[in-house]
Amino acid sequence: MEDVKKRKLEDASGNDDDISTNSEDHLRSLLEPLAKSQLVDLLAKLGSQYPSIAEEIKGVASADPVHRKLFVRGLAWNTSSETLRAAFSEHGEIEEGAVIYEKASGKSRGYGFITYKHMESTQCALRAPSKLIDGRLAVCNLAAEGLSGTPATLDLTQRKLYIGGLSPNVTSEMLLHFFGRHGDIEEGSVAYDKDTNESRGFGFVTYRAVEAAKKAIDDPQKTLGGRNIIVKLADSHKGRTVQTQLPPAMVPMALPLVPPGYPQPGKAHAGTPPVGYSYPQTIAAYPDSSYPGPQPPYPAQSQIPYPYYIGKQ
C-alpha cells in the first residue's frame, strides 16, 4: 500500500515538472537567446499548423498602423481622394486614404496616403508599387520609410532620366510605352502645369535598373510624337539649370576707365591717383527714386570699391 502511494506522489511531482517547463516564463527564457530568423521560422511553422496561432500573428502584425500605411507620390493634379482609394482597393479593405492638398490654394500637392485595415493588404500593394492613375504613374512605399523606401535609392541618379522637347500631344501613357521597351519603369510621367494641366514639354522616367537607363540614353531612335526628343540623366540636367540661374546682382558691372587726374564724383581730393587705383566712390547699383516704375527692395546707393568693376576696354 505504501509503495502505491509513493508511486502516485512521484507521478504527481513529475507532472509538476512538466507544467513548470511549459510555463510562459520558462518558454520566454528559451526564446530570448534565439535569433530573429529562428523565431520567424518557428512562428511561421506553428502558424501554418495551428489556425489560432496564425490569427494571433496577423492580429499582432496589424496592430500598429506603421505597418499598414503607404505613402503614394507622383499623383496627377486632378486625382481625387476617391480615385486614389479606388486604385488601391484591389489589394484589400482600406481604413483611410486621402490626397494631400495645399491649404492656401486648395490644389493637390501630388501625393497622398493609404492605410489598409490589414498588413497583408499593404504587403500585396508593395509587391506592385507602380500604378497608372489619371495618366500618371504613381509609386508607393511604406510611409514610415518616406522617399528612402524606393529600391536602390543610392543609384537613383543613374536611373532617373530627363526627357525634353516633348510635343504637347505626348501623354504620360505614350511616354511610358515608348521608354518601356528598354526595361521595367519604376516611375515616370509628363510634367504638367498645375494651373492649366497642360504639358510643360518635358518629363521624367525612372528605371528599376541602371542598365535600362543606359540603353535609353544610347538608343539612336529618339523621335516621339513627331519630334526629336532629348534624353539624358536628370541629375546632369538639374545641375546645369542651377548654374545658369544666378541673381543679376552677382554679375560684375563693367564701367568705363576713369583717366588719371579726372576728378571723381562724390569724393573731392587733390593730386592724381596712381594708375590702377582709385578711391571708393558712390555708384548707383540699383535705380533711384527718379527711375519710373516700382522700386526694388534694395538700397538706392551702394558704396562699392571702384576698381572691382573696371573692365577691359
Helix, strand, coil fractions of the chain, as percent rounded to 5 = 40, 25, 35
Cα–Cα dist 99/82, whole Å: 9
92-138 tens-digit pLDDT? 999 999 999 988 888 898 899 999 999 999 999 998 878 889 888 88
Tell the residue number behind the cell numbers 504637347, with chain if given.
Answer: 168
The domains of the chain, with CATH numbers, are 65-149 (3.30.70.330), 153-235 (3.30.70.330)
DSSP category for residue 137: E
pLDDT digits (tens, 9 = 90+) for 249-291: 444 444 444 455 544 444 444 444 444 444 444 434 434 444 4
Report the distance separating Cα 254 and Cα 284, nearest Å: 13
Residue keyed to cell 495645399: 102
Per-residue pLDDT, 47: 87
Task: Quote the pLDDT of residue 19.
Answer: 52
